[in-house]
Amino acid sequence: MNDARVLDLSGGDLPWRSMTIPYSTPDVDVSRLHVDPRTKANVALVRFPASWARPGVGHYDCAEQFVVLTGSLEVSGICYVVGDFGYLPALTPRSDSRAPRGCLAVAWFSGPPRWTPEPATPAEPVLHGRVDLVPGNAGGGAYSRDRAPNMAVETTTELLWPSSAQWCLLPPGGMPPQLPGPVLIRPWH
């Protein structure tokens, strides 16, 4: 039996709040999907309006992963488009971030995101690629498959089907829904 509540991330029934991303303009809309009560790691749906920009250089002290669902997002000269996965390790310098035509993305942070407006040196490389090509253990253990596993998960796990903008969070022992299309799987450790 599968009791997973699948959220339609393109639907209008999610709770949104306006938020200022440090050193950027205009505000973005955020719908928080999950926060780990122990580590404060979190995942959110972020809606960047057209013309959003953060022109300076800085870094977060925690790792970030994201998947672009609509539009595009440019970070440090890399353009992430629909279906792209990005992993930016803690301390990765970012410059000239922007969403010229707007963007809807799912973003994960490995802890509370604190922005420092200066460059730093990350310990790991940045990853950029299509969701269906994410290698195992990329960015905190995320991996992709052509379909959801047909077995119970061992730890709290989230699944994202980018092509249909569907997302769910499973408790340990939960059975993944069998939705069509490639799926990004992120165990919460």
Determine if the pTM surpasses 0.85: yes
Over the stretch 113-162, which tens digit does the pLDDT of each residue have?
Answer: 999 999 888 878 887 777 766 655 556 667 777 778 888 898 899 999 99
Tell whether the torsion through CA atoms of 21, 110, 135 and 3 is positive or negative. negative
Mean pLDDT of the chain: 89
Q: Does domain 13-130 have CATH number 3.90.550.10?
A: no
CA–CA separation, 78 and 84 (whole Å): 11
Tell me, what's the pLDDT at 71?
97
DSSP string computed for 66-88: EEEEEEEEEETTEEEETTEEEEE
CA–CA separation, 52 and 27 (whole Å): 8
Over the stretch 5-51, which tens digit does the pLDDT of each residue have?
Answer: 899 999 778 999 999 999 999 999 999 999 999 999 999 999 999 99
Read off the pLDDT band of 77 (50, 70, 90).
very high
Tell me, what's the pLDDT at 13?
86
Q: What is the C-alpha radius of gyration for the chain, rounded to an integer number of angstroms? A: 16
Tell me, what's the pLDDT at 134?
66
Tell me, what's the pLDDT at 28?
98
Tell me, what's the pLDDT at 117?
94
Tell me, what's the pLDDT at 1?
44
- For 37, residues 6+ apart whose C-beta sits below 8 A from its C-beta are none
For residues 167-179, give the mean pLDDT.
92
Confidence check: pLDDT of 2 > 60: no
Read off the pLDDT band of 165 (50, 70, 90).
very high
CA–CA separation, 147 and 149 (whole Å): 6
Confidence check: pLDDT of 64 > 90: yes
Confidence check: pLDDT of 72 > 70: yes
